[in-house]
Structures are given as C-alpha cells and as structure tokens.
Amino acid sequence: MNYKLFILIIITLFFFSTSSILARAALVENYIDAFSFTFIRLLSGAIILLILLYFKQKRFDITLKKNWISSFMLFLYAIAFSYSYLNLDAGLGALILFAVVQLFIILVALLKKESLTLQKSIGIFIAFAGLTYLLFPEQSFSLSFYHVFLMIIAGLAWGAYTILGKGTTNALQHTADNFLKSLVFVSIFYLLFVSQTHISFNGIILAFISGGITSALGYAIWYHILPQIQIITSGIIQLIVPPIAIFLGVLLLNEELTFKLFISTDIILTGIAIAILSKRKTN
C-alpha cells in the first residue's frame, strides 16, 4: 500500500467516525429530529459534491438511467443510522455498524472467490467474538435491541453501498449522483412515515457538517480508494472506526467507557490486526 493511499484511508476513517459523533451530539441534545438530520445531511452533501464536481469538470453528468440502487442504499444507511442514534452511544453504534459491514463484505467477497487465508479467517473470527461479547445481554449493560436492529440495517446498507462502489471510475461524480438521487427516497420516506419535525440552528449546523464535510468528502474519497483495495480489506479497515468513535464519544460527549465496551473493542482490534497482517504476508 502506498503512502498516499494510506493517508487517504486515515482521513476517510476519521470522517466516518466523526459522523457518529455529530449525529449523536445533534440527536441526544434534541437539537433536531432524526429525519431532519438525515435530510439536511444528504442535501448538504449533494450541494457540496455538485459544487466540487462543477469546478472539476465544468459540467454536471447526472443521469436518470443508473445508480438508483446505490442511491437507495445510501438513503437506507443514512435514515437507519440517524434513528438508531436516538438511543445508542456514538462509539457503541459505530462498533455495531462496522462489524455488520465487515460480515456482509466478507460474505460477498467469498461469493466473488476472493482469497481468505486461515490467518485472516482467525482474525475475522476473533473480531466477531468481540462483537458477540459486546451484544450479549447483562443486567449491568442493557441495550435497546430495536435501535441495535436499526444500526444492523444501516450496516447492511453501507456494506452494499461499499460493494457497489468497487467498479466506479469517477468517484466524485458517482458520489454526487448518489447523494442527489438519495433525496428522492428521503422525500418518499417523509410522505409515508413522518408527521412531525423540529429543527434548531445548532441542529442545522451539525447536520450540515455531517453531510457537507464528513459524509460528502469522506464518501467521495472512499469511492476513490475502493477500486485500489480488495473487498475483504475494505471491510477490515472500516473496523478501525469504532475505537476512534468511542474515544471521541468519551472525550466530547461524556459517554461512559465501560469495562465490557473496552474489552470487546480490544478483542475486535486484535482480530483486525491479525487479519491485516495476514493480508500483508499473502500479498
């Protein structure tokens, strides 16, 4: 892996983890409702991406003929992500999200006949043992399984969005097209399911930063990275996001770092390290 690609991956992972912090901060303080946060996030992302696309290409190549599946997956991820954070801590939500992403990507990679060595398999098994330990119910550590289920849906949708991005040749244009078309699904969701909303200035600012910076730029860079790495690798490196989100949640949102969360995160990171070392040795 070259240094430029490594730096882009680090920037992207930081953006991904910051998205969880921004969503949790906006929703836990009741600055904005989950739907409005999602709408402003996707709308601001579309605006920023279209501006960047125009400055790069001096034109908009938006078509109605393609990208509807990836746009729907972007919407499904974003809406389930927002509603799940009504109850889940930022770090915990990120841990569930990207563990599900990893499992989904592994299954798809196996179907595509990507190599899975014994060492990489052991690493993946250890990582998911950590997730199982985290989700195992205890009296001293309770979870809302409805909101966990929403985050699982978000993870499956993000995994599909990641897979669909593997074949892109113009990351900025593809991401701008996805964000723009996702607004169609947001509008349909509003007409079918939303009866009441509330928005404050702080909520707008947090949603705009989440959409226009951490999401729009992060996803564009991610779609640029994806064609250069294996599907399995793309899933493994995303599991670095939860520890970053946990640290930022404790530091910025005063979230509690429980013993169970600390141990499960360590187990997951150990699994990631084993799987990534396996990748380096086999290539």
What's residue 142's pLDDT?
66
What is residue 278's predicted lDDT score, i.e. its pLDDT?
A: 56
* Helices 68-84 and 145-164: angle between axes, nearest 10 degrees: 150
Closest listed residue to residue 241, CA positions, set 19, 25, 77: 19
Residue 185: what residue type?
Answer: F
Give 21-49 pLDDT, tens digit per residue: 999 999 988 999 999 999 999 999 999 99
Instruction: Provide the domain count of the chain.
Output: 1
d(CA 83, CA 136) in angstroms, rounded, equals 22
Contact present, 70 and 178 (Cβ < 8 Å): yes
Q: What is the mean pLDDT of residues 271-275?
A: 76
Q: Which residue has the higher pLDDT, 51 or 239?
A: 51
- Tell the burial category of 139 from Cβ atoms under 10 Å away from its Cβ (0-12, 13-18, 19+): exposed
The boundaries of the domain holding residue 102 are 3-282
Amino acid at 222: W
Residue owning tokens 């509690």? 256
pLDDT at 89 over 80: yes
Pick the more confident residue, 70 or 168.
70
Which residue is it, tokens 């005063």?
254
Range with lowest mean pLDDT among 52-61, 111-120, 158-167 = 111-120
Residues in the chain: 283
Give per-residue pLDDT as tens, 146-156. 999 999 999 99
- pLDDT confidence band for 137 (50 / 70 / 90): low
Computed over every residue of the chain, the mean pLDDT equals 85
Q: What are phi and psi of 138, to 5 degrees?
A: -140, 155
* Look-up of token digits 């530091």: 251
